[in-house]
A = this chain, B = another copy of it.
Amino acid sequence: MSRPARYHHGDLHSTLLREANRLLDEDGIDGLSLRKLAERAGVSRTAPYHHFRDKNALLCALATQAFSQLDEMIARQLQGDGSRERIQHFVSEYLRFATEHPEQYELMFGRTIWKSGDPTDELKAVAYRSFRHYAERLGSQLQGRLPADTDPLRVAQASWATIHGLCRLVIDGIYVNRDDMEAVSQQAVALIMAALKPVKND
């Protein structure tokens, strides 16, 4: 016995987060129930309620974590020049992020939290910040190459919608083939680059 069953767990909060992530990977967002989670943590059904107000709060905490990771990834990948290769690579990394952790991605952007649930202020903050970072970095990469009447913010929104749409199609089980997805994303990037004004490093 590694740990004699004490009345006080000692580190329930972080244990819950860790096991919740595991449950998410294994059983999906539908299979993640507070009761199962409590059992995994070796604690009674209602113990988690003293660490998270309700299930929504737990899910928001998980989503917040995931957004931090995404934000880091964006900062890491979306820098340097705005060459087609760089942007293409970023898109591939985004798709990988979403397809390798589909349930977390669903949690981050899905209706469970944003529509049915009630997103935490903390979650909203990190989510909006992620997008702002994306828009800023993409904007600086395309600087001077957009037509005069084109708002960089709109381009950021549109391109993000495209990537996000692809991710949803795969994650929701409509597209299954990842090679297809990669090819489609390359096509999308190619179309956008074709619309830009030519520049020296093309």
Chain A residues in contact with chain B, CB under 8 A? Answer: 28, 30, 106, 109-111, 114-116, 127, 147, 150-151, 154-155, 157-158, 160-166, 168-169, 171-174, 180, 183-185, 187-188, 190-192, 194-195
Contact = CB atoms under 8 A, between A and B. Distances in A.
A105 B155 CA distance: 25
Top 10 A-B pairs, shortest CB-CB distance: A165-B165, A194-B195, A115-B173, A161-B165, A114-B173, A154-B187, A158-B188, A162-B162, A111-B172, A164-B165
A172 B109 contact: yes
Given A154-B184, A165-B166, 5 more contacts: A28-B115, A161-B184, A162-B162, A164-B165, A164-B169
A5 B155 CA distance: 59
A32 B173 CA distance: 22
A107 to B, nearest CB: 11
